[in-house]
Amino acid sequence: MSGTLNKVMLIGHLGDEVKMHYFEGGGCIGRFPLATNETYTNKQTNERVTNTEWHNIVVRNKAAEIFEKYVSKGDKVYIEGRIKTRKWQDENGNDRYSTEIQCTDFTFLTTKNESATGSNTQQGNQANPVGHKAEPINHKPEVDLPEDDLPF
Amino acid sequence: MSGTLNKVMLIGHLGDEVKMHYFEGGGCIGRFPLATNETYTNKQTNERVTNTEWHNIVVRNKAAEIFEKYVSKGDKVYIEGRIKTRKWQDENGNDRYSTEIQCTDFTFLTTKNESATGSNTQQGNQANPVGHKAEPINHKPEVDLPEDDLPF
Amino acid sequence: MSGTLNKVMLIGHLGDEVKMHYFEGGGCIGRFPLATNETYTNKQTNERVTNTEWHNIVVRNKAAEIFEKYVSKGDKVYIEGRIKTRKWQDENGNDRYSTEIQCTDFTFLTTKNESATGSNTQQGNQANPVGHKAEPINHKPEVDLPEDDLPF
Amino acid sequence: MSGTLNKVMLIGHLGDEVKMHYFEGGGCIGRFPLATNETYTNKQTNERVTNTEWHNIVVRNKAAEIFEKYVSKGDKVYIEGRIKTRKWQDENGNDRYSTEIQCTDFTFLTTKNESATGSNTQQGNQANPVGHKAEPINHKPEVDLPEDDLPF
DNA sequence: TTTT
DNA sequence: TTTT
C-alpha cells in the first residue's frame, strides 16, 4: 500500500501553552494551536486583509516534553508533520471530524527566553527561568537514529 | 502578521471524479477527495496495518479545468497547497469546521489515459478519448490565479 | 546553532542503476543520478523548451539496499533529503565542490516490475524476477513509533 | 516532459549581504550565501558536533530588491526554491559545476531592524533606518518573474 | 544519463 | 471513496 505522501510544513506562532496528557504506559502527548497568517490586498477596496489560520498541533513523547519545556504562547516554531482527520461523535450522535497536524519534526524559531529579554518576564511563569539558556532547538529524529537500522 | 508558512504536499489517489462548480463572474472551482495511505506493523500482533487518510482538495479556475480534463477517479497526483479550515453552521445552528487543501501547484503522476491503455477504457466515459495524448502536466497555477493581492 | 531547515523534495527518474558501495563496518551507500524536468515556453520564439536537472542522490544502509533491490534506471521515485556540498581536491590540488542530496525518506512511484508488465520484460535483466511482487514502498522512519495507540 | 518535482525549503542565516546585479533590460538578480546547521552527537566521543552547510541563493527582480532592502548579513529567512546546477569552464577549460538555489518564495523570519533593537545598531549601515517598520514579508515572486530569461 |  |  502506499507510494503516497502526506506532508505538512508550517511556520507559525503558538496561540496558547502546550497542554500535556500523560498515559499509564509512560507515553505522553502535547497539544497546542498554531497560527499562520495570509495577507493580501482586496482589489476592490484596496485595503490590506489578514486571515489567520489555526492548526491543531499534536506532539508525542520526548518531543512533547521538549515543547512543553522550551516554548510557550506566542513563540514561533517550524512544524513538520502529517495531516490526520479524526472522526468522533457529538452529544447527538452525529459524526464530527477534527483535523490535526501530527508533528514529526520541528525547529524552534524563537523561545520565550528570547522574546522575554529585558522586562518582559512574567511573574508566576518561571518555566524558563532567567539564566537558563534556552537556545533554539533543531530536533530532527533522524539525527539521533543510527539512520541505518531501519527495519526493512 | 506573516513571516509564517502554511504548506501541504500530498501524493495520493483521487477517490472520486473532480466535481466542478462554475461562478457567475467566470471563475470556477473543482473539488475531489484524495487518499493517502500510511502503513505500519503492529508491534504486538506483528500484522501489517494500513490507514487511509482522506483529504478534501480544492482547485481553482484554470487549474480546476485542467484537473477535470486530465484526471479522474483512481489517478495519482502530486498536490501542493495550503490548509484552510472553513467554519459553517449545521442545521441546528452549531458551529462546524471543515478542513480543505487549497491547491496551489500540482503534477499528474498518472492519468486515466495511461492506466486505460488497452482494453481498460470504460464505456460512457470518453472525456479522454483514446488517441488523445494526455501527457503529464506540470502546471503552476499560481501564475494565473487572482491571488491578486501581492503588493508588488 | 540550529533553528534551521535543510530540506529537499524531488520527484524524478533514475538516470542510471543504483551503484552500491559496501564498507568494512557493515554499512553501505547507494548512489544514482535523478532527473527532474522543467518546461516553459520561450516568449520570443513561442517554442516549448525543456531543461533537465540532474541530482546526485545518496542513500544509506538499509534504504540503499531497498533502492538497489526494487528500482532501476528509468523508474520514478519521490526523494526527500537534505543538500550537502562536499569539498574535494582535484588532481591539481584545486578545491572542488560536489553537491549531493542525502536521502532521508522516499517513496517509489513506479518500479521496473510495473512498467515491465506483460511483454516488456527485457532479457538479461532479472533483478526483479517476474513473480516477485515489487510493491511500492513508502519508507517513513516515523513508522516505528507507536503512532497508533493513543485515544486522540 | 515533467510530472517531476524539484523543491527546496531552507531556513537559515545570511552569511553576507545581498549582492545585486542589474541588467540592461531592467531585470536584476541578487545573490547571497545562506547557512544551515546540522548538529548531532558523536556516538564514540559523545561530543556535540555542528556542521554548517552553505547554500548559494539566487533571487530575481522584485524579490531581489526586497531582499536587498529588508535583510542583511545574519538575518534569518525561509527560502523556497529549486536546485539548479550550472556548468562552467575554469581557466584551464575544465568543466566545473556550481549548484544554486533559485528562490521562488520566501519569508523573512528576522530583519536587521528587529535584531538591531536597542544598542546593536552598527554605524555605517543604515539601510534599514530606525523608525522604519520592516515587518516580515511573505512574498510569492513566481507570479511576476519571466523565470526563463536570464543568462544564469 | 531519465521521462513525456 | 483511492491505491497496492
Q: Quick: pLDDT tens for A49-76.
A: 999 999 999 999 999 999 999 999 999 9
Give DSSP secondary structure letters for D76-109.
EEEEEEEEEEEEEE-TTS-EEEEEEEEEEEEEES
Residue B90 has pLDDT above 60, yes or no: yes
Assign A139 a pLDDT band (cuts: 50, 70, 90): low
Is B2 in Cβ contact with A11 (below 8 Å)?
no
pLDDT of residue D89: 87
Residue A110 has pLDDT above 70, yes or no: yes
Looking across all nucleic acid strands, the nucleotide with the smallest C1' to CA distance from residue B52 is: F2
Give DSSP secondary structure letters for C63-92.
HHHHHHHH--TT-EEEEEEEEEEEEEE-TT
Closest chain D C-alpha to B135 CA, distance in angstroms: 8
Question: Is residue D83 within 8 angstroms of chain A, CB to CB?
Answer: no
Q: CA-CA distance, A18 to A68, in Å (whole number)? A: 6
B110: its cell numbers: 498518472
Q: What percent of chain A shows pLDDT beyond 90?
A: 59
Assign C12 a pLDDT band (cuts: 50, 70, 90): very high
Residues 6+ apart with CB under 8 A from D69: D127, D128
Residue C106 has pLDDT above 60, yes or no: yes
User: What 3-state DSSP class applies to B147?
Assistant: coil
Higher pLDDT, B142 or D36: D36
Q: Which fold has domain B8-133?
A: OB fold (Dihydrolipoamide Acetyltransferase, E2P) (2.40.50)
Q: CA-CA distance, A131 to B123, in Å (whole number)? A: 73
Assign B113 a pLDDT band (cuts: 50, 70, 90): low
Task: List bases, strand F, within 7 Å of protein CB.
Answer: 1-4
pLDDT of residue D112: 63
Please tell me the number of Cα atoms within 13 Å of C131 on its side-chain side.
Answer: 2
Q: Quick: pLDDT tens for C108-124.
A: 998 765 433 333 223 32
> Cell 493581492 sits at which residue?
B149
C46/E3 CA-to-C1' distance in Å: 23
Residue B125 has pLDDT above 60, yes or no: no
Assign C17 a pLDDT band (cuts: 50, 70, 90): very high
What's the predicted TM-score (pTM) here?
0.79
Q: CA-CA distance, B128 to B70, in Å (whole number)? A: 7
User: What 3-state DSSP class applies to D46?
Assistant: coil
pLDDT of residue B112: 61
- Give chain D's residues under pLDDT 50: 1, 114-138, 140-152
pLDDT of residue D94: 82
Q: What is the mean pLDDT of residues C15-25?
A: 96
